[in-house]
Amino acid sequence: MTRRLFTTNPRALALNYLFLALLAVITGTLLSLLMRIHRTWPNLAIPPHGVIRPEDYLALVTMHGTLMIFFVLTVVPQSAFPNLVLPAQIGAEGMAFSRLNAAAFWITAVSLLVLLAAFFVPEGAPISGWTNYPPLSALSAAGPGQTTGMDLWLVAITLFCLASVLSSANFLVTILNNRAPGMTFARLPLTVWSWLVSSGLTVIAFTALFVAASLLLADRHFGTSFFLPSGIVVNGIPARSGTGTPMLWLHLFWFFGHPEVYITILPGMGLASSILANFTRRPVPAYRLMVIATLLIGVLGLGVWGHHMFVSGMNPYAGTAFGLTTIAISVPSSAEVLTWLVMLFRGRLHPTTPMLFILGFLSFFIAGGLTGPILAQPALDAYLHNTFFVVAHFHLVMAMAGVFSIFAGIYYWYPLLTGRRMNELLGKIHFWISLIAAYGAFFPMHFAGLAGEPRHYSQLNGPVESFTRLIPVERGITWSAFLLAAVQLVFLFNVFWSARRGVAESGTNPWRATTLEWSPIAHPIIGNSPYEYAPAPAPGDNFLPQWEPEKPF
């Protein structure tokens, strides 16, 4: 046990990360169900807590967002999966800095414990949402949870930033320096290209968040005023006067926050290309285009943060410029989607569970992505900003697409860890019910948003506006959320059951894949590009793995 915990072996670390993310996702899901219960039955007392108060609801929102975005959607694709397969996929012995890599896991684990501790301190967890805009997050008097709970959030996030930068720097060096002989850039699997870009983004973006969180801690405890202007009065009492502005936090936070979206989704996009090639038995048709699109998304992703701030009072000309960069980034994103659609019509499509989850990923990526060009227009965003339309958008394009690619990865790479496949029937039940329930939970949020319902409302009926016609919609969302959460039990059962009872694999390459994590050879010399599914070296065996000798012609 101790050896397992304090390992520097990347695969063992990947498992540690996966269990950490499992703890986070279970907690985050339960929090979201409590939110749904409160929105649908506001007066229901939940033992042992009792009726959820408005501040409790906001604490649930804050912690749900923080857990899911950092500890699930970042940790799994950007920490667990690279540890699982990145060294193998480039033919490396291990990571470039294996102790640093292990240290990153430990800092992440401490960060999670610090964050969860916020539930147990007086006044509870912070209530200012995962974006924690000051002055609400800077002044303890501004609300319950903004004292110790807020400090714990900031410390947890500072630690998380540190861990992410360390582990991503390690991935960058590993990809650049530790490739096996013959593994040229043109032969990198698209997953590795994705990790190259997302690791670069992580180093840049999480540094900005580290700075922002540190400065906010300084504002709270060391008398600085990076984010505090003068003239603030909270509860009738003048607050400490300052010379800063909350706008600085918005810029720093979103300079992190938007690249973060691509950090969570780029690895899934790379995996989608690999899995589509594998289960249609055809190469990725436009490999270079996919690489360029991935790089473009990375570069443009650093210049779109202002689209979160169209209505913040930022200069309207800046809004125009950020609208343009945001429209620009939908072009490489569309190029990737169209390539995946083309891949569906080549060769024979094998609807295995990993393939189905990638189709689900594709479906959500399209559904959520298509509202991007609407929200990229400042004029339209000025109506839709911070309504449930935005909640629908990012839950589809980031959360559901991200989670479905995570499931695809787990079903796909499971034999690497256990030598067995997960049960296909349970996998398909898991897929179809999750797909339907996720659409049921998140698609109707578009309508709530169009009706003007703002986010972060603990109840629908206020003193002036009561959104009564949304009550049936809200109820449907709640029941779908329950179904979505419940069917994950099938997945959990499958994970643990298949470890002992799953179909045992005879060879090392159950999916007849071409990338190196399936190689039976320890020190391969790379002779082929990553997706040689076309030419048939032997009858019935129409693929050429990267570890096989170079093709004769």
Distance between CA 466 and CA 492 in Å, rounded? 39
Out of 374, 503, 504, 521, which residue is the one contacting other proteins (CB under 8 A)? 374
Residue 386 interacts with other proteins (CB under 8 A)?
yes
Task: Examine residue 185 and tell whether it contacts other proteins (CB under 8 A).
Answer: no
The nearer residue to other proteins, 91 or 143, going by C-beta atoms, is 143
* 338 near other proteins, rule: CB under 8 A: yes
First to last CA, the chain: 51
Where do the DSSP E strands lie in 65-203?
A: none
How far apart CA 528 and CA 336 sit, in angstroms, is: 23
Among 127, 162, 205, 269, binds other proteins (CB under 8 A): 127
Is residue 385 a contact residue for other proteins (CB under 8 A)? yes
By CB under 8 A, is residue 196 in contact with other proteins?
no
What gap in Å lies between CA 428 and CA 348, rounded to an integer? 19
Query: Residue 104's CB: how many other CB atoms inside 10 A?
Result: 25
Does 418 interact with other proteins (rule: CB under 8 A)? no
Identify which of residues 112 and 473 has a Cβ nearer to other proteins in the complex: 473
Q: Which of 45, 535, 549, 550 binds other proteins (CB under 8 A)?
A: 535
Applying CB under 8 A, the span of 97-105, 185-193, 451-459, 514-522 interacting with other proteins comes to 451-459
Q: Using alpha carbons, select from 11, 200, 14, 175 the residue that is nearest to residue 90.
A: 175
Six token digits for residue 262: 């691509």
Picking from 26, 12, 39, the residue whose alpha carbon sits closest to that of residue 388 is 39
Q: Which of residues 340-369 bind other proteins (CB under 8 A)?
A: 341-342, 344-349, 351, 359, 362-363, 366-367
Question: Minimum distance between the CB of residue 43 and other proteins, rounded to whole angstroms?
Answer: 15
Under rule CB under 8 A, which residues in 4-63 are in contact with other proteins? 53-55, 58, 61
Query: Toward other proteins, which CB reaches closer, 186 or 536?
Result: 536
Of the candidates 513, 399, 508, 393, the residue with the CA atom closest to the CA atom of residue 449: 393
Pick the stretch among 68-76, 78-86, 196-204, 244-252 that binds other proteins (CB under 8 A). Answer: 244-252
- Interface positions, 462-491, toward other proteins (CB under 8 A): 462-465
Interface characters, 56-95, with other proteins (x: CB under 8 A):
--x--x----------------------------------
The residue among 142 and 300 lying less far from other proteins, judged by its C-beta, is 142
Residues contacting other proteins: total by CB under 8 A: 97
Measured over all CA atoms, what is the biggest interatomic distance in the chain, rounded to whole angstroms?
Answer: 82
Residue 532 φ/ψ region, left for φ over 0, alpha for ψ in the -120 to 50 degree band, beta for the rest: beta
Nearest Cα residue to 241 out of 314, 135, 137: 135
Contact between 334 and other proteins by CB under 8 A: the answer reads: yes
Q: What are phi and psi of 233, to 5 degrees?
A: -125, 120
Strand, helix or coil for residue 541? strand
Supply the minimum distance, in Å, between the C-beta of residue 346 and other proteins.
6
- The conformational region for residue 28 under phi > 0 = left, psi -120 to 50 = alpha, else beta, is alpha
148 binds other proteins (CB under 8 A): no
Binding mask 210-229 toward other proteins (x if CB under 8 A, else -) reads -------------------x
> Does 233 participate in binding other proteins (rule CB under 8 A)?
yes
Q: In terms of CB distance, is 122 or 500 closer to other proteins?
A: 122
Q: For residues 159 and 213, which CB has a smaller minimum distance to other proteins in the complex? A: 213
337-345 LR contacts (CB < 8 Å, sep 24+)? 337/362, 337/365, 337/366, 337/369, 339/273, 339/284, 339/285, 339/286, 339/289, 339/290, 340/272, 340/273, 340/276, 342/285, 342/286, 343/273, 343/276, 343/277, 343/280, 343/282, 343/284, 343/285, 344/276, 344/280
Tell me which residue of 523, 513, 508 sits closest to 544, measured CA to CA: 513
Site pattern 247..286 for other proteins (x: CB under 8 A): x---------------------------------xx--xx
